[in-house]
Structure 1
Amino acid sequence: MLLLATLALARPALSQNGNGAPNGAHYNLNIIGVTQAKNPPLTGSDRHTIFVPLVSDQNGDPDTLASDTAPILLTQGPFTVCDGNAFDPAVDCKGNVVNKTGAVFQLPCNNLTSLGLVVPCTSNGPGSIASYQVWARVVGTPGGNGTITLCAFDQTTLTEVCNTDEVLMRNKPNKFTDITKTLTTLVGATGPAGVGNYPLFASGFSGFFWDYDNNGNKVLQLRFYLTPQ
């Protein structure tokens, strides 16, 4: 919460620099692909890294889904890596095991006006709602590609619902891309308010996670910029 407050006092002007990313204060998150599972629990610290498989489709399944071995589960609150190890039981920021395997990242519901949300964000305490942009790029060798998007489960049908806006992240060109809607909105989903763009942690959905299908990306860098409305 302290970090979120600090960022709020230094909101970026969002002018871009040479690497394509906006200038200004931001929260960094690095999603690192590794060939061997990490053994330490990697919980309970101020880390900004999450370790996932370098290649997702080890068992013929190309996606890092909630039913797979290394999902990135999402919970609501100030930006925090609750559990940076996607290879062991997933632990949220309160110390609760929430899945048999996976990493856990905590972030606010995004109420950015340009997302065109059909329902507003619902507060879950201090720092649980914010207006922000998400920028991403891939760095590191040998290079690769992958896709990442937001998914959740429909609480009525118990079926998986994924964002229709999916981004292919490549090693070149090595510049940041705005993927705010991809990672913080269920685009074109069917929910309690009909078909539309639903925010993170919207009522009617549960089990939000990032579906990251990695095919050799060493480091996926994410930057979160608080944005004035």
Structure 2
Amino acid sequence: MKRAIIYMAVVTVAIGMLFTVKTKAAAITGNGAPNGAHYNLNIIGVSKDKTAFMDSGIGHRIFVPLSGKIKINLLPGADFAVLDANGTDGNGATFSLPNPDPDNDGVTSYTVWARALGKPGGKSVTTPCAYLDGVEYCSTSNVVLVRDKGKSSFTNVTSQLLYVYIDLDGDGVEERYPLFDSALQDYFWSYDNNGLKLAQFRFYQN
């Protein structure tokens, strides 16, 4: 049976106006990212599908189609790890990461920063999604990366990437659900690529 799908309006919004997500202040470097140890994840757009075995959990990269939408399935784990790097085989990729906000109090245990690299002109949209009773819900907030000419700088995308903002109870008011909240199941990032060769995400522990 096919899963029913509910598409929420996919827009980038100023989440801080509705919800407060607190992150620890850190010194910023010349590329816009914090200074300090981090986990680096590269999402690489390719024109040809990959055929090699990529379920070894080794590496910090995920391959996705240069054009089109795929799922990056998310699993809770003690550490950050790419479990399936091939997002071009029709089954999506798989990424493991710690629960960012177990208490849903708006205080995350780590922050996420992102930038677009590669040939100018590409764009990607990353949207957190999840299921409930076979129905797909996607957040009204997302991460839009555009590769313009010149230097590319990091932007803090913690609130857009680690939470799903939806009106689950239908009362006209959005609720905030952190990744792996028990209210929803089977969390994933919907990655919609339009020619972006490289999206770089950095995860910094608070």
TM-score normalized by structure 1? 0.71
User: What does the per-residue CA deviation read over 1:111-145, in whole Å, with 9 as the maximum and x for residues that have no partner?
Assistant: 288x745xx9xxxxxxxxx7010000010114311
Partner of 2:200: 221
Which structure ranks higher in relative contact order (CA pairs < 8 Å, sequence separation ≥ 6)? 2
User: What does the per-residue CA deviation read over 1:121-180, in whole Å, with 9 as the maximum and x for residues that have no partner?
Assistant: xxxxxxxxx70100000101143112111001123xx22111111232111361111111
Does 1:186 pair with 2:164?
yes
**Which blocks of at least 5 consecutive residues in structure 1 are unaligned?**
1-11, 57-63, 65-69, 89-99, 121-129
Deviation at 1:79, TM superposition (A): 0.6
- 1:182 is paired with a residue whose SS is helix
* Structure 1 CA distance for aligned equivalents of residues 118 and 28 of structure 2: 22
TM-score normalized by structure 2? 0.78
Point out 4+ residue stretches in structure 1 off by more than 6 angstroms. none
Q: In the alignment, is the contact (CA less than 8 A) between 2:64 and 2:87 conserved in 1? A: yes
Q: 1:169 to 1:223 in 2, by over 3 A?
A: same
Where do residues 72-151 of structure 1 align in structure 2 (5 Å cutoff)?
72-77=72-77, 78-88=79-89, 101-111=91-101, 116-117=105-106, 131-151=109-129
Q: In the alignment, is the contact (CA less than 8 A) between 2:56 and 2:84 conserved in 1? A: yes
* Structure 2 CA distance for aligned equivalents of residues 116 and 197 of structure 1: 10
* Structure 2 CA distance for aligned equivalents of residues 45 and 212 of structure 1: 20
Partner of 1:176: 154
Q: CA RMSD in A?
A: 2.3
Does 1:39 pair with 2:17?
no
Q: In the alignment, is the contact (CA less than 8 A) between 1:79 and 1:108 conserved in 2? A: yes
* Residue correspondences, number: 177
Where do residues 19-58 of structure 1 align in structure 2 (5 Å cutoff)?
19-56=31-68
Q: In the alignment, is the contact (CA less than 8 A) between 1:72 and 1:211 conserved in 2? A: yes
Does 1:161 pair with 2:131?
no
**Which blocks of at least 5 consecutive residues in structure 2 are unaligned?**
1-23
- 1:183 is paired with a residue whose SS is helix
Q: What is the one-letter code of the residue matched to 1:170?
A: V
Q: Percent identity?
A: 43
